[in-house]
């Protein structure tokens, strides 16, 4: 039997308990052993929950309990999630998380500590919710050199853009609708400004290229300036608009961007609607593969967390597991945004010009020659 | 260092050698050891190949060489591929294959022999070419109960149907075009009659439901009767037509079908064109996930084979690996096709009727009441 502790009993944390309970039989038959939730750490009590008797408020109980071999960090935010994860790994406990903020900011250090302590730090649910993407990149694409990634990584913004595209809804109304449906938070900044997507592209880029750039170094643009007129122009030219997290190597340096982009309708990403996510990976042998599914939601995300728990339960030692490891990128590892050439759509005076592959500075020069008031979309 | 033998130096076999050579550095850095091709078994010689000196003609040399820990069966066909695989497993050697025919027919036995001999039998490349699907179902969806699978599993027929859909090409002309491009063989039976797709849905269904039905028990219909008029009707109703391998449980019994189906344009499978494959998996926690990519081709398929080789190299013993295991289905495990209810499109007298969810027998009765000459498409 493996005993685990869940840190944080919010949406995903309680989802993990639900998956472990509801799919108990199937999980145990695959593992040939039980997974028992011994503790749930939260500031609150949950007297009406079937897990009420597991709830504790003192992390040290978990840290000092040698029976706990897996800590499931579902707290969100940087602190104390990072601190508890680090302490757990240092104490020789495996850690599973869905916390993209911690992985993007502190992943390098935590993976190193895990390695030194012969335990594992897994984070399948940090990108794409329930969609398998971290493990497939690390296990299945392992014989490939990854050359590029393009992902619809944020369900909230994809829902908003889908409403704008399909129903001609304005950004403001689509955002209100998303908030009413519970897809967007009261303060939607992290979603609509691309901050969430930037963390995720950092994780995917670190996995793919072995160097982790700071989320602040991602060239990032949100969707607040996208208008229904832009969608009409895109449509008339055979495109749609999606918020894309993009990463590639340019002369060995990492380019990572988040921006609303024109997507040709022939690209499978163009047809990923509503709160769904899709991640297109390009690799040197495999060409392109796409992973698609619900990028959020209690049970889908929790099922990815439980897959990580089961992976660890099968391979408690990291010696036989494919290790995830990357180093921090220095400024020299990061590509200059102006070394990135792609086709652009310049919108000025209500007209659209599609360019050849050019860099942003040149696109801006062309745009400025038409009007002081312009928009530039890069084209995927 | 791990020494391997490749059986069969055709398209995929030579692709494996190419991936191992071209991505040698990346593979060795991930494994911390070398993979060496010691033998290549083929009836032919390849004097101009850089691997000419590895080519042998006697399988017993491989079988009796204790240095060979991984046998890579790339021969195709049932025999001697099955016999060599079985002998290798019995001799305590791991086996990797892309041979869907052998896996669908003999997988139950070979997996059992692998288990008994503490080695592994892996076949990621047998379905979806380079698309990760076997390992994700077995590792990532492991905390889920899989409830259904719908896949575009054959690139040749998808290319033909795409030509018919987009260009109004007749089936006969689209087939000739596919043959001219090398996508279809001179005898296209296995593709156009759905035999290839049936083997693949058998493998996916066995993985998902734990019971392997014989490929002959799959309710199978090819694409030879699909006409451009059918596409026009489908289009006018908001559908397209794809050859779909489908599996689900009906009252605990396995339903497995291969047939051309109407796909609503809102379904992501509707937008998978040309030789691409896509596999949509439904699971009880995860909802739907889709895996998409090139379902065939030398290097994509070979890269999946090499991922299996690397998986084995990391975990030579099966003790710490997620075991794949299923039993043979008996007739009692197989659902009656008439227990399968779905929406249908009945085409009779040039008109189309969309029904509620009904079984095939009832659909046939309704169709016969309109005309003796009818077609029925099930709707996804």
CATH code of the domain containing A207:
3.30.360.10
pLDDT tens digits along B17-34: 999 999 999 999 988 899
Q: What is the pLDDT of residue A317?
A: 58
Residue of chain B whose alpha carbon sits nearest to that of A326: B30
Q: Are residues B35 and B183 in the same domain?
A: no
- The model's confidence at residue B323, banded by pLDDT at 50, 70 and 90, is confident
- Residue A335 is assigned to a structural domain of this protein: no
- In a domain, residue B167? The reply is yes
Closest CB to B292: pick one of A142, A145, A268: A268
Q: A219: which strand partners?
A: A257
Same domain, B289 and B301: no
Residue B135 · residue B143 · CB < 8 Å: no
Q: Is the pLDDT of residue A318 over 60?
A: no
Model confidence at B322, pLDDT cuts 50, 70, 90, reads confident
Q: If you average pLDDT over every residue of chain B, what do you get?
A: 95
Residues A150 and A104 grouped into a single domain? no
Are A247 and A324 contained in the same domain?
Answer: no
- Residue in this structure with the two tokens 């840290």, named with its chain if needed: A63
- Whether the CB of A161 is below 8 Å from some CB of chain B: the reply is no
- Number of structural domains (chain A) is 3
Does residue B230 sit in the same domain as residue B310?
no
What distance in Å separates residue A64's CA from the closest CA in chain B? 27
Chain B hits for A131, CB-CB cut-off 8 Å, are: 289
Percent with pLDDT over 70 in chain B: 98
Rg (CA), chain A: 22
DSSP type of residue A26: H
Q: Is the pLDDT of residue B318 over 60?
A: no
pLDDT for residue B66: 98
Mean pLDDT of A24-37: 93
Is A39 in the same domain as A6? yes
Task: Tell me if A333 is assigned to some domain.
Answer: no
Do A236 and A345 fall within a single domain?
Answer: no
Q: Is B239 part of any domain?
A: yes
Give me the percent of chain A exceeding a pLDDT of 70: 99
Are the beta carbons of B233 and B347 closer than 8 angstroms? yes
Range of the domain at A323: 2-130+297-328
**Are the CB atoms for A275 and A155 separated by under 8 Å?**
yes
Contacts with A, B 272-291, CB within 8 Å: 272-273, 283-291
Retrieve residue A28's tokens.
């145990």
The answer to whether B97 touches B126, Cβ cutoff 8 Å, is yes
Q: Do A27 and B142 touch (CB under 8 A)?
A: yes
Residue A375 annotated among the catalytic residues of the structure: no
Whether residues A120 and A166 fall in one domain: no
Confidence of residue B181 (pLDDT cuts 50, 70, 90): very high
Cα(A276)–Cα(B183) distance, rounded to whole angstroms?
32
pLDDT at A187: 95
Q: Which residues of B70-94 are buried (b: 16+ CB within 10 A; e: fewer)?
A: bbbbbbbeeeebbebbbbbbebebb
**Does some domain include residue B255?**
yes
A75 & A218 share domain: no
Q: Which of residues 45-74 of B touch A (CB under 8 A)?
A: none
pLDDT of residue A3: 98
CA B23 vs CA A90, A292, B10: distances in Å: 35, 27, 20
Question: Which residues does chain B have within 8 Å of residue A263's beta carbon, measured at their own beta carbons?
Answer: none
In the structure, what pLDDT confidence band is assigned to residue B324 with cuts at 50, 70 and 90?
A: confident
Count CB pairs under 8 A between chains A and B. 169
**Neighbouring-strand partners of residue B374:** B348
How many other CB atoms are there within 10 angstroms of residue A219's CB atom? 18
Instruction: Check CB contact of A128 with chain B, cutoff 8 Å.
Output: no
What tens digit of pLDDT does each residue of A279-314 get? Answer: 999 999 999 999 999 988 899 999 999 999 999 998
Instruction: Report chain A residues whose CB lies below 8 A from the CB of B142.
Output: 27, 30, 307, 310
Residues B172, B259: one domain?
yes
**ipTM of predicted complex:** 0.93
Residue B157: pLDDT over 80 = yes
Over residues A92-101, mean pLDDT: 97
Please indicate if any CB of chain A lies within 8 Å of the CB of B310. yes
Measure CA A133 to chain center.
Answer: 9
What Cα–Cα distance (Å) separates residue B10 from each residue in A73, A213, B13, B43, B85? 48, 42, 5, 11, 17
List B41's β-bridge partners, or say none: B7, B56
Q: Which of B54, B86, B200, B298 is catalytic?
A: B200
Residues A159 and A188 in one domain: yes
For A199-210, write each residue's pLDDT tens digit.
999 999 999 999
Name the pTM for this structure: 0.95
Residue A49 has pLDDT above 80, yes or no: yes
**Considering the domain boundaries, does residue A336 fall inside one?**
no
Is A184 inside a domain boundary? yes
Which of these is catalytic: A54, A86, A200, A253? A200
A180, part of any domain = yes
Burial of A229 (0-12, 13-18, 19+ CB in 10 A): exposed
pLDDT at B357 exceeding the cut of 70: yes
Q: Length of chain B in residues, anyone?
A: 380
Tokens of B292: 């998409």
Q: Classify residue B366 by burial, with Cβ atoms within 10 Å: 0-12, 13-18, 19+.
A: middle
Rounded to 10°, the helix A100-116/A81-90 angle is 10
**Alpha carbons B371 and A341: distance in angstroms, whole number:** 60
Q: Identify whether residues B254 and B285 lie together within a single domain.
A: yes
| CB-based contact, A132 to chain B, within 8 Å | yes
Q: Does the beta-carbon distance from B23 to A284 stay under 8 Å?
A: yes
- For all residues of chain A together, what is the average pLDDT? 95
Looking at residue B17, its pLDDT comes to 98
């Amino acid at each position: 039997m493996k005993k685990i502790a869940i840190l944080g009993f919010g949406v995903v944390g309680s989802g993990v308990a639900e998956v472990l309970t509801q799919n108990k039989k199937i999980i145990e038959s695959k593992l040939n052993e039980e997974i028992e939730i011994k503790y749930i750490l939260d500031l609150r009590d949950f007297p009406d929950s079937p897990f009420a008797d597991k709830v504790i408020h003192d992390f040290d109980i978990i840290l000092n309990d040698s029976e706990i071999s897996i800590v499931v960090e579902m707290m969100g935010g940087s602190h104390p999630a990072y601190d508890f994860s680090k302490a757990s790994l240092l104490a020789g406990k495996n850690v599973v998380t869905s916390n993209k903020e911690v992985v993007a900011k502190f992943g390098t250090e935590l993976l190193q500590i895990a390695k030194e302590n012969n335990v594992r730090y897994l984070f399948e649910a940090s990108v794409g919710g329930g969609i398998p993407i971290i493990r497939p990149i690390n296990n299945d694409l392992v014989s490939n050199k990854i050359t590029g990634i393009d992902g619809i990584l944020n369900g909230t913004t994809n829902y908003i853009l889908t409403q704008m595209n399909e129903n001609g809804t304005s950004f403001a109304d689509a955002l209100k609708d998303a908030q009413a449906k519970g897809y967007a938070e009261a303060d939607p900044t992290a979603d609509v400004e691309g901050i969430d997507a930037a963390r995720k592209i950092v994780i995917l880029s670190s996995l793919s290229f072995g160097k982790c750039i700071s989320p602040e170094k991602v060239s990032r643009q949100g969707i607040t300036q996208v208008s229904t007129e832009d969608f009409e122009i895109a449509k008339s030219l055979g495109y749609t608009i999606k918020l894309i997290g993009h990463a590639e190597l340019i002369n060995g340096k990492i380019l990572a961007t988040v921006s609303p982009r024109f997507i040709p309708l022939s690209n499978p990403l163009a047809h990923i609607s509503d709160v769904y996510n899709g991640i297109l990976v390009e690799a040197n042998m495999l060409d392109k593969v796409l992973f698609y599914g619900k990028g959020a939601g209690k049970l889908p995300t929790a099922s990815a967390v439980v897959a990580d728990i089961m992976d660890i339960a099968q391979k408690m030692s990291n010696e036989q597991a494919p290790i995830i490891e990357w180093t921090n990128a220095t400024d020299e590892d990061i590509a200059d945004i102006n070394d990135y050439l792609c086709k652009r759509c310049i919108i000025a005076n209500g007209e659209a010009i599609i360019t050849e592959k050019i860099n942003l500075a040149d696109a801006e020069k062309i745009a400025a020659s038409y009007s002081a008031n312009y928009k530039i979309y890069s084209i995927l």
